Structure 1
Amino acid sequence: LLAAEDTYEYAAVFALARAECEALNSDGHAEAAALMEAGRLFVRAEENLQTSSTLSSGELMEHAVSCFLKAAKLAYVSEDISALDTSASFMQPKINLSQRRILQDLLENAISPPDDIL
């Protein structure tokens, strides 16, 4: 409902609260899904700021990247490669080079873990 009213940042905060509830219920998959939704909503909020006459500090994009990285970590821990790949593909254009390297390392280790882990 909040997203329909173009108040994406508030909708994102509610999605974060839902992610915390899912974490308390020990449902990592639902938590990751809620984090992905929050990340997407923060991106939409940032895009709205950039297309309006309002100046953006980039804070909403930082929140989005944080949500995506948390979702990627949950997917990595639960060995849900498809969710991790979805997080990675959505994040690629939104993150800087060092964050992209960390994400790539996560993906590579999830798909082919180093020998010392096995």
Structure 2
Amino acid sequence: MYCLAIFFVAILSVYCNPTVSPEEKLTLTAARQEIIDGNCTNLSDVNLVMSDHVKKAAIPFIVRDGKTSWYGDQKIFCLKVVNYHDDGTVEVTEGGVNHSYVTIEMHSARSHALEFLVSIYAK
């Protein structure tokens, strides 16, 4: 019983932490829905090394998953993953900006479609 009480106190302290403002919570939530990382200003199609449109239809009661990877000799300086729906999450699981590889995993909400546009810029 003592361990259970400590568990609930730990959970409440994470969710009720007064040092995290509502704006920061919103930013953290939005960051999981799409990713724009690195120096993504003044982009040129010359530096676009991969563009992938990941799309899967909705299936009732099922969470749709997608995964894409890129490996190369150039260093990634900009990574954009845009979500075409209001739900779903995206996460960089390996590599990313300042690496020569990246693996990205995407998940839809239950019973919803999955649709992301992944753009990787490197030089």
Which fold has the larger relative contact order, with Cα–Cα distance below 8 Å and residues 6 or more apart in sequence?
2
Larger Rg computed on CA atoms: 2
TM-score (norm 2): 0.25
TM-score (norm 1): 0.26
The structure with more strand, counted as a fraction of residues: 2
The structure with more helix, counted as a fraction of residues: 1
